[in-house]
Structure 1
């Protein structure tokens, strides 16, 4: 078969993979309530007749489960993560515990996945009012603090392509580029209420020799409380990132 003849088949395969992954992501993000077929169809932007077959297949294989007409995350998702070695190493979790204890705010470990940032582990403080961000959900790289760390150390062509997608304003692009240059130099990224005016975030990249920056550690908490001790928090976050960078967080 010629390459021309195979193109439609490859396109169909890509659409199928994209559709299945979109269904999984939307359902996982909807936990614990789950979604009805119509809601899932609206979220994906595809007809129910198309979505239903994929959803039923995912139920059959255990990646989704159906309860009272609602689709929810199935047990196979957790199994897949365990098989794939996605358990957070002890060294990383211990660093989160120490950081949260030192500053009494929510400590976060985030990873870069494509053009998204995903929180894979966190430790909450003793504070009654605290940041409680959802785990295992895709977040935009901009303007979250750990996303800024990923962008600051990203290959320029990839970073610029991302920035062009989020703004077509040259002045805004220049402002973002300038901030990212500062993040790169200082190894500290800030989110000063840019996504939620009531929350602050501070993050620092974990730099492993010879590897792309795909992990960042940080703190998040109420804006008023974080702003009052931002210098101390920044120092603690940077020290935690440097420790993990130097040790590789080996168990």
Structure 2
């Protein structure tokens, strides 16, 4: 007699095979694909039909999944807590990088820290869960803002403006909008002392099953320690964001970075053509290289980043606590 586990395995393999068939599938095809007897396939299909999880097209003898599966998925997704789902990745990032890791959401036009894992470094960024920070000058905030619909993005900018926090803060709206488009293309955002002197951060988006951004994670630390590692940290943040997104049901999480036709090799130097970047557009010295060899970078199938010079990230003395009710 077949074990219950083996029977369940066969049933789920069959359900997955039916799900993959766009126009439905018949008993013979399923038996061939799964290497199962036709009698077994027919018995399992009949059970799924009786339970309401499949339907049979009598005219063509094909089986399809029904919407009843959605009720299971909907209940599962409703119970997902991004903090709970992300925690393992946050802890792994903190252990691997030694830096402070934040989980951040958008709330009333500001970035709100809903979780944090301390790194092992003695000198590190100071922040607290529940603090608020501006969107336009923090890595996590810019990530959240970059993935908003244009109408909502513009409404947020009108409401909150672009106040200067450091000499590196982007305060020109047109410059910021171009910068946000670049963030969407790269899949990561940087903050080089734009919000807090001496602090550099990198952040990546987290998407849910609908493809909407629900949070951002960031790696934050002293500029001196972060800058040499930014390329590796950027890739690690992006991978962690994709892993969390996949656990939240995002269907395309594994393809977050764009293709490498144009390698985002970014250089922010102190000068450009003998002139210093303007305060309004500190990113004006960004250069994109289609031929990575000219920049001395190995061109791989993954998008490549070169470390940028300092700017910054999140929590500062200007942030204010989030009401406890918002964190429950």
TM-score tier (shorter): 0.5 to 0.7
More helix by share: 1
Q: Cα 1:200–1:167, aligned 2, differ >3 Å: closer, same or farther?
A: closer
Change beyond 3 A, Cα 1:131–1:232: same
Look up the match of 2:205.
205
Residues 139-179 of structure 1: CA deviation (Å, up to 9, x unaligned):
211111111011101010111122234149xx911110111
8 Å contact 1:151–1:159 — kept in the other structure? yes
In structure 2, stretches of 5+ residues that fail to align are: 1-78, 164-170, 250-328
Question: Structure 1's 242 and 173: CA in aligned 2 closer, same or farther, altered over 3 A?
Answer: same
| Runs of at least 5 residues in structure 1 that lack an aligned partner in the other structure | 1-84
CA shift at 1:201, angstroms? Answer: 1.1
Distance 2:108 2:195 in 1: 20
Is the contact between residue 192 and residue 201 of structure 2 (CA under 8 Å) also seen in structure 1? yes
Equivalent pair of 1:100/1:107 in contact (CA under 8 Å): yes
Q: CA 1:116/1:86 → structure 2, altered by over 3 Å: closer, same or farther?
A: farther
- C-alpha RMSD over aligned residues: 2.3
Please give the alpha-carbon distance, in whole angstroms, between the structure 2 residues aligned to 1:145 and 1:234: 11
Q: 2:145 matched to which residue of 1?
A: 151
State the match for 2:113 in structure 1.
119
Q: 1:93 to 1:174 in 2, by over 3 A?
A: same
The TM-score, its normalising length taken from structure 1, stands at 0.61
Larger radius of gyration: 2
**Cα deviation, residue 118, structure 1:** 0.8
* 1:137 matched to 2:119: no
Would you say 1:101 and 2:95 are equivalent positions? Answer: yes
Matches within 5 A, 1:1-251: 89-165=83-159, 166-167=161-162, 172-248=172-248
SS at match of 1:143: coil
Counterpart CA distance in 1 for 2:138 and 2:132 is: 12
